Structure 1
Amino acid sequence: MRDDDPRLPSSPGFWRSPLRGPWFTSVLGLVLLVGITVLFVTGLVSYAAYNPDLSPVNDQTPDKGVLGFYLFAWPTDPYWLYRLTQGLHVTLGIALIPVLLAKLWSVVPKLFALPPARSLAHALERISLLLLVGGALFEFTTGVLNVQLDYLFPGSFYPLHFYGAWVFFAAFVAHAVLKTPAALRTVRERRTPGEPRSPEGEPGLVSPRPDAPTVSRRGALRFVGGASLLLFVTTAGQSIGGALRRTALLAPHGGPDPGGGPNGFQINKTAVYAGIDPVETGQEAWRLVVTGRTGTVRLGRADLLRLPLHSSALPIACVEGWSTADQWWRGVRLRDLAALVGYETDPPDVFVESLQRRGAFRRAALRANQVADPRSLLALYVNGEDLSPDHGYPARVIVPAAPGVLNTKWVARLTFGDL
């Protein structure tokens, strides 16, 4: 068969849809230009929130790696910061799926175009397109799987998604630099009466003998936009909370708050899943080990209750995009525990270890600014009652603006100082 045989995907005649064209592709591309840029930025700040430059516990990148140049001490104000940035990252990423699929569908004839490379420049462009398409599918697929199935990639999702994002975004930027001027010109010319329009006969994109149209290109865009809006509506409630949580049908933890009473709010890991032995968390057996400059102290729950107790109203915001409303926590300030082991002023970083036996983030590291914040607690109560086993009894960390996995549950040891 010849390359111009309409039975071959490499032939322009194989692709018969009348919807494909520069204007349709340009509109989708401009939407993705804005949306993917926001996704990349919010993804980077999420990675910074995990403090990968503090300890190898939270990230396995040696010395941060060359891609860690942007890292900074994640702030504790505003206290809802991570709830906003990660909720935006996940909700926008899911809402953009129809736009991405429509964009890929609109340019699929070019992926089969022959010859594969007409020149060196054309070969480089085709390679960048492979990285672009492959990277987009990888990032969106792994992101959605992690959101929907929680710890599907324990210990590996974060570096996979992180490095994949850099490869994808590098190809995305190169493609945007080449194509954005033409896309803006195409959209502008279609909207401005009296000006010449971009040709609709671009080789490899517009069919030379299209089928009869059943919907206009604007109608197709409305369909794509409607699909994105539907995904947005059925996802956003997980991070907005309140009554809107019931609308988050396609999001994890998107239904009504589980259970009832003071401990009736979202969790990722139950005590059973984490392998918590109730004997170890009992009043007689459990001791918190606190280590620092002046040595080690061991505190039972009764000892902690004799220390000054403080309260903080803080949400839990998870990397999967869901978050709780503000909960009322009460416990001992982390900076007061640091003072017990020699850090009366300027508390340092702290390394937190849990009784958890299974699952990711059994250990975590918090920055000095997080320890020093007066709202950062080793919480013993929530909403006026003891923590439930699933919420970390006998004690858990709660820190403003920190990702949920750094609010370690079932705390067994705190090590202040050099990690």
Structure 2
Amino acid sequence: MGDRHDDRAFRFPFRSGAAGGAGPPGGGRSTERLRTSERLPSSPGFWRSPVRGVRFTAVLGMVLLVGLTAVFVTGLLSYAAYNPDLAAVNDKTPDKGLLGFYLFAWPTGPHWLYRLTQGLHVTGGIVLVPVLLAKLWSVIPKLFALPPARSVGHALERLSLLLLVGGVLFEFITGLLNIQLEYVFPGSFYPLHFYGAWVFFAGFVAHVGLKFPRAVRVLRGGEPLRQEDELASPAPDTPTISRRGAFAMVGAGSLLLLATSVGRSFDALRSTALLTPRGVADPGTGPNGFQINKTAASVRITPADTGERWRLTVVGPAGKFAFTREQLLAMAQFSAALPIACVEGWSTADQWWRGVRLRDLAALAGYPDRPPGVFVESVQRSGSFRRAALRDNQVRDPRSLLALEVNGETLSPDHGYPARIIVPAAPGVLNTKWVTRLTFGEL
């Protein structure tokens, strides 16, 4: 799909003069200026690929219309899953104002809900990378077209392109860096990605409104005549690939990215996820041998923090209570099969957790009938989400546990020993590890 420039393809014939002249006065200089202008990106003749055309662009645009809409919606759901309007510690995007109009109480069922929505969000974004790059390549002549604005309507269209292209590149770059655990942008990922998404979406909606009718006409009517196709080269180079071949190449790229990333959400395919991380490199084997995002050492937890002196403090209207791990194990124990799902897109299969129900701890704290939300605190010293808030519906769910064991074995230090939260359908960061305090009713 290259754009090789070849002066031989451009000749500017002039009618000869009466004396067998060589063209108009100053013809040599004029011809040279014309040829020089063809070497500028603002000239249609600069772009030589025969693959470009409005039909090629329209097909890619329709794929992105569906794909980017799905990625945007699942991204909003991911943000809602954090319960950002519940407590300040959950809200990594303060002052969101009207942009948080859609937030709702995140449900606990089905228990794999966040695993599905965030898996679709991240995997969909990865798979769309070749389609996005091909779409940008297909319209790049328009980005250099002069004059930059021919009318008010054209100026608005160009502005929507600026928001669209800038926003989508920012979102894809920050998102890919985040799932690679190499986020390098200044500031927190959460607000930058959130606000960037709305900037992108504003340009996306404006662009779709302007271009969708034309795209539908092109796809219904087939390839327009070349003289009506503003994206087609006026003097195309010799084809090296057909448009059908170009579509196949883009599709193959997306399938390759799918095959090398989707496995991070399935234990049987995890070794195939070559291009995306899956938590720690080696989670080990045995009952505790499943994926981990942050280890005890990475958040500066020492054996003394979780040793004999550790206590779980439970606070509520009935007072303040402190429990040892042995006392918690002596309480009624319940089991639940729940996955761990991370914002980075990886997840585990259902693990069997066992421990004390959160609603039973709420009853001890003074809420025997209708438990409220709970504020959870960890002993971890660094990193985000050392504290988190859970909604009342999450506390009431019988599968929500203060887990003490997993898969029939005591929690390992990296999985949250001596006790951790596990809640159905919640993002992994809200399943707080190394819990030391539960405060019911004060969020």
- TM-score band (shorter)? over 0.9
Residues 54 and 9 of structure 1, relative CA distance in 2, 3 Å threshold? same
Q: CA deviation at 1:3?
A: 10
Identical-residue share of aligned pairs (%): 73
Is it true that 1:163 corresponds to 2:195 in the alignment? Answer: yes
Q: Which letter does structure 2 place at the counterpart of 1:264?
A: G
RMSD of the TM alignment (CA)? 1.8
Residues 103 and 3 of structure 1, relative CA distance in 2, 3 Å threshold? farther
Q: Structure 1 CA distance, aligned partners of 2:219 and 2:203?
A: 23
Answer with 2-11 or 360-369: which moved more: 2-11
Q: Structure 1 CA distance, aligned partners of 2:356 and 2:52?
A: 62
* TM-score normalised by L of structure 2: 0.89
Residue number in structure 2 paired with 1:213: 239
Residues 395 and 68 of structure 1, relative CA distance in 2, 3 Å threshold? same
Match of 2:254 among 223, 228, 234: 228
Residue number in structure 1 paired with 2:421: 397
Preserved contact between residue 52 and residue 64 of structure 1 (Cα < 8 Å)? no
Q: Which letter does structure 2 place at the counterpart of 1:168?
A: F
Residue number in structure 2 paired with 1:324: 348
SS at match of 1:279: helix
Residues 278 and 307 of structure 1, relative CA distance in 2, 3 Å threshold? same
SS at match of 2:260: helix
Is it true that 1:175 corresponds to 2:207 in the alignment? Answer: yes
Q: CA deviation at 1:353?
A: 0.8
Q: CA deviation at 1:117?
A: 0.9
Q: Structure 2 CA distance, aligned partners of 1:66 and 1:405?
A: 25
Residues 254 and 376 of structure 1, relative CA distance in 2, 3 Å threshold? closer
Match of 1:296 among 320, 325, 335: 320
Q: Structure 2 CA distance, aligned partners of 1:62 and 1:229?
A: 37
Q: Structure 2 CA distance, aligned partners of 1:153 and 1:385?
A: 40
Residues 58-95 of structure 1 show CA distances to partners (whole Å, capped at 9, x for unaligned) of: 11444752111111111111100111111111111100
Q: Structure 1 CA distance, aligned partners of 2:105 and 2:299?
A: 29
Q: Which letter does structure 2 place at the counterpart of 1:378?
A: L
Preserved contact between residue 53 and residue 230 of structure 2 (Cα < 8 Å)? no
Residues 215 and 66 of structure 1, relative CA distance in 2, 3 Å threshold? same
Q: Which letter does structure 1 place at the counterpart of 2:135?
A: K
SS at match of 2:216: helix
Preserved contact between residue 10 and residue 109 of structure 1 (Cα < 8 Å)? yes
Preserved contact between residue 79 and residue 401 of structure 1 (Cα < 8 Å)? yes
How many residues align? The count is: 411
Q: Structure 2 CA distance, aligned partners of 1:3 and 1:278?
A: 74
Q: Structure 2 CA distance, aligned partners of 1:161 and 1:392?
A: 29
Residue number in structure 2 paired with 1:337: 361
Q: Which letter does structure 2 place at the counterpart of 1:208?
A: P
Q: Which letter does structure 2 place at the counterpart of 1:350?
A: V
SS at match of 1:57: helix
Residues 152 and 354 of structure 1, relative CA distance in 2, 3 Å threshold? farther
Residue number in structure 1 paired with 2:66: 34
Is it true that 1:97 corresponds to 2:129 in the alignment? Answer: yes
Pairing of 1:143-154 with structure 2 (within 5 A): 143-149=175-181
Residue number in structure 2 paired with 1:59: 91
Answer with 120-129 or 134-143: which moved more: 120-129
Gaps of 5+ in 2: 1-32
Q: CA deviation at 1:150?
A: 6.2
Residues 268 and 61 of structure 1, relative CA distance in 2, 3 Å threshold? closer
Residues 315 and 108 of structure 1, relative CA distance in 2, 3 Å threshold? same
Residue number in structure 2 paired with 1:194: none
Q: CA deviation at 1:418?
A: 2.5
Match of 1:251 among 247, 264, 276: 276
Residues 27 and 90 of structure 1, relative CA distance in 2, 3 Å threshold? same
SS at match of 2:313: strand
Q: CA deviation at 1:255?
A: 9.7
Residues 155-211 of structure 1 show CA distances to partners (whole Å, capped at 9, x for unaligned) of: 711111111111101110111111112112212222xxxxxx423345652211110
Residues 413 and 62 of structure 1, relative CA distance in 2, 3 Å threshold? same
Q: Which letter does structure 1 place at the counterpart of 2:379?
A: L
Q: Structure 1 CA distance, aligned partners of 2:135 and 2:167?
A: 14
Match of 1:73 among 89, 101, 105: 105
Q: Which letter does structure 2 place at the counterpart of 1:305?
A: L
Residue number in structure 1 paired with 2:334: 310
